[in-house]
Amino acid sequence: MEKKHIQFFENLVGVENVYSDKAHLLAYSYDATRVTYEPDLVIFPRDEKDVQNILKYCNDFGIILTPRGAGSGFTGGALPANGGVVLAFEKHMNKILEIDMQNMVAVVEPGVINMDLQKAVSEKGLFYPPDPASQDYSSIGGNVAENAGGMRAAKYGITKDYVMALRAVLPSGEVIQAGKKTIKDVAGYNVAGILIASEGTLGVITQITLKLITKPKLKKTAMGVFSTVEEAMNAVYKTMASGVTPVAMEFLDNLTIKAVEQKFNKGLPTDAGAILITDVDGNLEEDIETQLLTIKKVFSENGSTFFKIAKDENESNELWFARRNASQSISIYGSKKLNEDITVPRSKLPQLLEKIEKISKKYSVNTPCFGHTGDGNVHTNVMVDGKNEDELKRGYEAIEEIFKATVELGGTLSGEHGIGLSKAPYMKLAFSEAELNLFKAIKKAFDPNNILNPFKMGI
């Protein structure tokens, strides 16, 4: 980057808030995809005014800018694939500005860590449900820009269900306020809805207003074991349609169960086709018992061979152990994990899992699956030897076929990780030319000079 540009930014925000040395550029060159692209500069804005000035300057000089939260994204959204500036919020723009008890709303800056917000509102007796597994380090800005989901999504929804308003800076340097603290707001286009999951391609989010709810007092965990994955998937969608809404309804297939057992020796049923782990919550013991009885009944009607309710928190943690350790355990099947987060309408889960099995056989790859089946979201992990070119090729072919099958079943390429760079080539499988052209027109309206995180999301 030209010296004059670096000097401008240093004068604007202070030398201490601009990194241009090799070590720091390297530190900001990655996310969870393990692909790296070095930026030319990392800037830590102190406030929204800085964001405005930085964006306007970049826009005037055609400098590419990529917003970055905690860099925990799985699809390369925060990677500066074309160099330029990385704009990071963790140093200054990381404050909880307000917890408004009367309106049950929190107002935060983008760099606030998800778990810090959860703790802060919980101390006041309130609840912010979205809990991505990365909740200890991912930022609310990144959560909004990816529309993150979590274990509680089956009952409580995902990030978008809690965003009431966003302030954002456009590449021109102008600030927009999308939405209000009001429950209802039907005036004008739903611009906040467009910014959510826009992966930093339309505007830089500088302030987020989030809905809070009250936290249920009681929670219980149960587990069901099934002989086949089909029976388990039937049990999932039938439970969700039975009038009970579990907080979580997570699943592990046979390959995943075997992997966890091989690593941790927990006495898991390695001959089972699938395990379902579920949490229910409420304020009354009777309510919890009724929910568990209904789930037990639906599980049993759909072939469960074993059902256990955790007596206490220790037992609950034991039941959750396999799910929490699924991701690391499946490395026994290959050094490289091609992990996708496809999602289908819940009633299509049995067909989806059947298709994945057939595709895996066709390409001779192992595809352990686990995940948030309560919301139709399956983590599909095609495991290959990363050093074996032929196996890698087969792995990617299997992925493409799995995406096609997902779309045919009325599903989507991503339930929570977004498109970024890694899924960009597959956008054509899921969207028509007219839809992709509309995306491009929206991008142009926000960012006519294409300086904001360009070429992400296949746009």
Ligand X SMILES: Cc1cc2nc3c(=O)[nH]c(=O)nc-3n(C[C@H](O)[C@H](O)[C@H](O)COP(=O)(O)OP(=O)(O)OC[C@H]3O[C@@H](n4cnc5c(N)ncnc54)[C@H](O)[C@@H]3O)c2cc1C
- Asked if 120 is part of the footprint of ligand X (rule: CB under 6 A), the reply reads no
C-beta of 164 vs 225, nearer to ligand X: 164
C-beta of 73 vs 224, nearer to ligand X: 73
Site string for ligand X, 25-64 (x = CB under 6 A): ------xx--------------------------------
Residue with tokens 């905690």: 70
Residues 6+ apart with CB under 8 A from 277: 221, 222, 223, 248, 249, 250, 251, 252, 319, 320, 322, 323
148, 163, 165, 210: which one binds ligand X (CB under 6 A):
148
> 211, 202, 267, 216: which is closest to 246 by C-alpha?
216
Q: Are 138 and 132 in contact (CB under 8 A)?
A: yes
- Asked if 77 is part of the footprint of ligand X (rule: CB under 6 A), the reply reads yes
- Asked if 70 is part of the footprint of ligand X (rule: CB under 6 A), the reply reads yes
- Asked if 118 is part of the footprint of ligand X (rule: CB under 6 A), the reply reads no
- Asked if 78 is part of the footprint of ligand X (rule: CB under 6 A), the reply reads yes
- Asked if 139 is part of the footprint of ligand X (rule: CB under 6 A), the reply reads yes
CA dihedral 403, 406, 412, 416 (to 10 degrees): -80
- Asked if 207 is part of the footprint of ligand X (rule: CB under 6 A), the reply reads no
- Asked if 166 is part of the footprint of ligand X (rule: CB under 6 A), the reply reads no
- Asked if 381 is part of the footprint of ligand X (rule: CB under 6 A), the reply reads no
39, 45, 67, 334: which one binds ligand X (CB under 6 A):
67
C-beta of 108 vs 225, nearer to ligand X: 108
- Asked if 150 is part of the footprint of ligand X (rule: CB under 6 A), the reply reads yes
- Asked if 409 is part of the footprint of ligand X (rule: CB under 6 A), the reply reads no
- Asked if 376 is part of the footprint of ligand X (rule: CB under 6 A), the reply reads no
C-beta of 204 vs 225, nearer to ligand X: 204
- Asked if 142 is part of the footprint of ligand X (rule: CB under 6 A), the reply reads yes
Check residue 188 and give left, alpha or beta (phi > 0: left; psi -120 to 50: alpha).
Answer: left
Q: Are 208 and 166 in contact (CB under 8 A)?
A: yes
Q: Are 106 and 98 in contact (CB under 8 A)?
A: yes
CA dihedral 203, 204, 206, 208 (to 10 degrees): 60
C-beta of 361 vs 440, nearer to ligand X: 440
- Asked if 329 is part of the footprint of ligand X (rule: CB under 6 A), the reply reads no
> 315, 237, 234, 303: which is closest to 272 by C-alpha?
303
C-beta of 291 vs 343, nearer to ligand X: 343
> 85, 110, 80: which is closest to 97 by C-alpha?
110
Stretch that binds ligand X, among 14-22, 143-151, 280-288, 308-316 (CB under 6 A): 143-151
- Asked if 133 is part of the footprint of ligand X (rule: CB under 6 A), the reply reads yes
146, 230, 253, 375: which one binds ligand X (CB under 6 A):
146
117, 178, 204, 292: which one binds ligand X (CB under 6 A):
204
d(CA 172, CA 4): 20
Strand 175-179 and strand 163-169: the pairing is: antiparallel
C-beta of 225 vs 452, nearer to ligand X: 452
Kindly report the number of other CB atoms within 10 A of residue 22's CB atom.
9
17, 33, 138, 343: which one binds ligand X (CB under 6 A):
138
Residues 6+ apart with CB under 8 A from 181: 100, 103, 105, 164, 165, 209
C-beta of 73 vs 273, nearer to ligand X: 73
Residue 102 CB, shortest distance to ligand X, in Å, is: 27
Element (H, E) at 285: helix 285-301
**Residue numbers 414-433 binding ligand X by CB under 6 A:** 416-417
Element (H, E) at 336: strand 336-340
Q: Are 451 and 57 in contact (CB under 8 A)?
A: no
Stretch that binds ligand X, among 37-45, 135-143, 221-229, 399-407 (CB under 6 A): 135-143
Stretch that binds ligand X, among 33-41, 183-191, 200-208, 288-296 (CB under 6 A): 200-208
Q: How many residues bind ligand X (CB under 6 A)?
A: 35
- Asked if 458 is part of the footprint of ligand X (rule: CB under 6 A), the reply reads no
User: What 8-state DSSP symbol labels residue 281?
Assistant: E
17, 33, 52, 66: which one binds ligand X (CB under 6 A):
66
Q: Are 453 and 201 in contact (CB under 8 A)?
A: yes
d(CA 202, CA 453): 8
List of residues contacting ligand X (CB under 6 A)? 31-32, 66-74, 77-78, 89, 110, 132-134, 138-139, 141-143, 145-146, 148-150, 199-200, 204-205, 416-417, 453
